[in-house]
Structures are given as C-alpha cells and as structure tokens.
Amino acid sequence: MADYKAPLRDIRFVLNEVFEADKLWQSLPGLNGAIDWETADAMLEEAGKITSQTIAPLNRSGDEEGAKWDNGVVTTPAGFKQAYSTYAEGGWVGLGGNPDFGGLGMPKTLGVQVEEMVYGANNSFALYPALTAGCCLALDAHGSEELKQAYLPNLYAGTWAGTMCLTEPHCGTDLGIIRTKAVPQADGSYAVTGTKIFITGGEHDLTENIIHLVLAKLPDAPAGPKGISLFLVPKFMVNADGSLGERNPVNCGSIEHKMGIKASATCVMNFDGAKGYLIGEVNKGLNAMFTMMNYERLSIGIQGIGCSEASYQSAVAYARDRIQSRAPTGAQQPDKAADPIIVHPDVRRMLLTIKSMTEGSRAFSTYVGSQLDISKYADDADIKKKAEDLVALLTPVAKAFFTDVGLENCVHGQQVFGGHGYVREWGQEQLVRDVRIAQIYEGTNGIQALDLMGRKTVANNGAFVKVFLDEVRGFIAANQDKELAEFIQPLAKAIDNLDELTSLVIDRSKTNPNEIGAASVEYLHVFGYTAYAYMWAMMAKSAVARLADDADGFYQSKIGTGRFFVKRMLPRIHSLSESVRAGSEPLYELDAAQF
C-alpha cells in the first residue's frame, strides 16, 4: 500500500488557479481580510504534513485494533489520542470557527481542502473533529451568549469534543417520531431522558469533556417535526469558573461492531435525566440542527473524495510496478519478463475513471465551498441570495454524488490490484469498507436524491435549478474559444438535457407524485455528471492558459484527464436520462406480495 501523500499540487491548482480563491476572499467584506493566498498556502502545507506524517500512519492499525468499549468506557486505538492532541494544538479543530470565541475564522473554500486531506489519511480519525465542528456551527448560530462563552472556546481548541444526537432505535430519517423527552426544571435547565443510537464519537478518550447536541421533545410539544427542540447536554457539568464539575447522567451503553470506520466509536447513548440547556427556540430544534447540515453533509461527501484519492495513489503506484503480460502493441519493457499493468487498456480505464472523477469532485467541493462562503460573508443581498439558493440545491448532490462515486472509485482501485486488492495488507479492502458508510449516514443517498428532486426542484418549480443553469450558460457563452470547444460543446448539450429533464419531472409530478421518487436517484446522477462537466470546462480553461509554462506536463495531464471525462464518463447521462424518462410505472407493476 502506497503511503498517503496530501495532493497539494492538485489542491493548489483548483483553489488558486481555477477558482482564484484569493480574489474571492478579498471580495467578501465579512471575512475582514482574515485570509490571503500566502497564509492559505502555508496552512495547506502544514495540513499536508500532519495528515501524511501523523494521521495516515494510524489508519491501518486503527482499523485492526478498533475502538474498544468496557463498562461504559471507550478507548480509541493506540496513537489516536496523541495524534488528536497534535491536531488540536495546531488549531485545526477550530479552523472555520468564530474568532470571537477562539476559532480561526477560515473560509470554507480552505476548509474543504483540509477535510479532504484528513479523510484521505484516516477516515475514522477524521470523524471526531468533523462532528465537533458541526456541533460548534449549531451552537454558534443558535446558542445563547452564555452558552457560547462557556463551551465554544474549549470546543474550538479541541480540549472538548462535540456530537450530534438525532437517531433513535425506532426512527432515523423520520425524526418527527423521536421519543427522547426534555422536562423543564426550576433553574431554567431541562432534564433529558432517552436513548440515541449511531452517535459518532458519543464516548471516547480523546478529550476531557464531550458536548452532546440532543434532539428531544418537551412534554407538551406538538406532534411531528414541529415539536422538536435542541439541547446541549455535557458529559461533565461545567462550573462557573470554567472547570469541570460532576458527571452528568449520560452514558455509553455499547458501541457498534461495523463493516468499516472501526476506529470511530459509534455509540448507543443513554440519557437518564441528564441536565441540558436549550439551544435556540422551543420546538425549533430542526431549524437549529439544519444550520449545520449543509456543512456536515458536504463534509461527509468529502469523505468519498478523500477515500478516492487514497485509493488512486495506491492503485497507480501498483500499476506502474506490477508486471503482467505484454502491452497490446508489443513489449514496452523488453528487458523484463512482462510489462507493467499500466500499459493495459482496462487498467487505464479504471485509473482514469478514478482520476477524472476524483479531480472533478475536488473542484465541485471547492465550488460548493465558495457558495457557502459567499452566502455567509457577502454583503450584497442579491449575491447572497443566489449563493444560498445554490447551496440548498447542490448540497444533496455533493453529499450523494461524492460518496456514490467514492465507492465506485475505491472498488476500481481495489480491482487494479487483482487478488492482492482483496488482501488486508494492501489497504484497498479497508478503503472499500470505510467509504461505504458515507452513502448511508448524514441522510442516506436516496434521501438526498429525494431532497434534490422534491424539495429543491419540484417544490419551487425549478427555480434553484434555473440559477445553476443560467450560470453555466453564462460561462458557455463567455468561452467560445476554439481551444475549449471540446469541453464547451458537450457541456452545452448536457445542460440542455438537464433543463429538459427537470421540466419533464416537474410536469409529470403534477398528476403523479410517484414521479418524484422514481426519478430522484438517476436525476441526481445526471446532475452530478453535468456539474462535473462544468468543473472540467473550468479546469481545462485554466490549464490551457498555462500550457506555455508546463515544464512537468501537469497542465497537459489535466487536459488529457478532462478529455477522458468528457468522452468516457459524461455519456453516462444518456442512459440515466432514459431511466428518468421511463417514469414511475415500471416500479409499481408488482404488488408487494410479488417481490
């Protein structure tokens, strides 16, 4: 297994050359000049070092040892605690946090690059700070000043960790039927009682305290999702002077034994009248929780990118080294018994599939990150509104498409190794196991597709989609240069197809609500490939402009990879589109008993 190396050259290309991040950051008044390219570049370099040298070496050992549970106490694998301390001391947990409470205040366009590196190095490790960051987002946006002062500084510092406690044994997606109760107390706090499952980092030994964000209902709450409130429930109470007090009655009943991410503690958490504090308004808990969901779902999507990159690095190193058979055109290394397998068309197909989709994903995560930054930091109302609409539209695409693609990529990387890919020592089978969860948690990919098709497209008659289509068509109109025609023309056809498909589903759904769910997954994938065509057109534009100074072939490689995407990957939209056009009827011809 090749050692993971942070893909800094590719990250710098996307962030600085394609999206011109420095110009973006300087144009956003809300950032207050907090970041420039020189600072960002130095931070990327440091992130590359800690992920490659400190976190990645724990990936395999962490998988083999796993998190351990003993009578309510959870122990992370050897080396995790020290690595987490090093990571926290570098300020990485609070990278995007509010500077008023000790966060670094960095933009999401930088944050997504760091997240990719951490996921690429070690999925299980990455989840601990990712959940803390999400907890901080909700608390910062909706918590009282008193709660923020008491909890955010230690959360940003990594001294304390955070969780999200949503799911219960009888409910996952349908949070409206949760049973966890919060009873008001005389001192203004609440007694929280209930059981939550699948809680990432619910208990561990990495930090001195763990802060749980818990969805619960007051005794007189309205039925359904309108009756949900959000509460902050600490593992240890916090005294007035900031020191830790008595243990709160919240305990880990067990941890799950999972297919992958085995070093990440996935906990059953029992709240037995634990003291909690309301975040936001009563019965507005889902609103508070969803503040963090755009960020968290993008983060989990990035797990797919990180795994893809790790799989590619290992697969391409193996393909260059492993010799088997001769090239179809004759011996390439006649002094050896056979040629390296990278000469074979099918191996190249797999490697280029991973490469083109991973680089497309990286560009798209940066694009979505830029829209999050604009929506947060811009002062022009129209610009903010456009970015907010795009974030709402593209978040389910990013979460689901990144992770669907991530599994496919990791399977291709495993396949390059042949039988060795099925053996633990090479690391590819772990990546396949680890990446699989990303399609399931933070809202399954089927739910993401329903969100895209139903709430984000049909519900507003395609208004959000039109914002995206108009932007891409503006790019197409402005880039009619002959050098870019091979990217622009397929993009234009793909955009027209997406436009037509959107109108078709909206129209059909007016008389048959089944059409939304029947079209949703394939529609999301059509959207994903089309969005990547836009990303590749932008990357090709940047690469073409720099060919004159392409001493090491980096930019020519970008153009060649983009050509592969346009000619071999983008055509997938045609079969997917035909599936959408087939409608819902084939799904409902069988009665339940006929399955």
Is 560 within the bounds of a domain? Answer: yes
Torsions phi, psi for 206 (to 5 deg): -80, -30
pLDDT > 90: percent of the chain:
96
Per the CB < 8 A criterion, the answer to whether 231 and 277 are in contact is: yes
Q: What is the DSSP string of 200-263?
A: ETSS-SSSSEEEEEEEEB-TTPPSGGGG-EEEEEESEEE-TTS-EEEEPSEEEEEE---SS-TT
Report the chain's mean pLDDT, rounded to a whole number.
97
Q: Region 38-49: what's the mean pLDDT?
A: 98
Q: Taking 70 as the threshold, does the pLDDT of residue 413 lie above it?
A: yes
For position 1, what pLDDT does the model report? 67
pLDDT tens digits, 84-127: 999 999 999 999 999 999 999 999 999 999 999 999 999 999 99
567 lies in some domain:
yes
Res 159 pLDDT > 70: yes
* pLDDT higher than 70, residue 40: yes
pLDDT of residue 595: 97
- What is the per-residue pLDDT for 173? 77
Give pTM, 2 decimals. Answer: 0.97
Within a domain: residue 365? no
Section 45-73 average pLDDT: 98
- The domain containing residue 542 runs over which residues? 444-586
**For residue 172, is pLDDT > 90?**
no
Asked whether residue 174 carries a pLDDT value surpassing 80, the answer given is: no
Asked whether residue 135 is domain-assigned, the answer is: no
Q: Is residue 65 part of a domain?
A: no
- The total of structural domains in the chain comes to 1
Let me know if residue 150 belongs to a domain.
no
pLDDT at position 288 is: 86
- Catalytic sites, residue numbers: 442
User: Is residue 474 in some structural domain?
Assistant: yes
* Nearest of 333, 228, 348 to residue 279 by alpha carbon: 228
Are the CB atoms for 66 and 19 separated by under 8 Å? Answer: no
- Confirm whether 544 is domain-assigned: yes
User: Do residues 168 and 160 touch, judged by C-beta distance below 8 A?
Assistant: no
**Whether the predicted pLDDT of 239 surpasses 70:** yes
What's the whole-number mean pLDDT along residues 261-275? Answer: 98
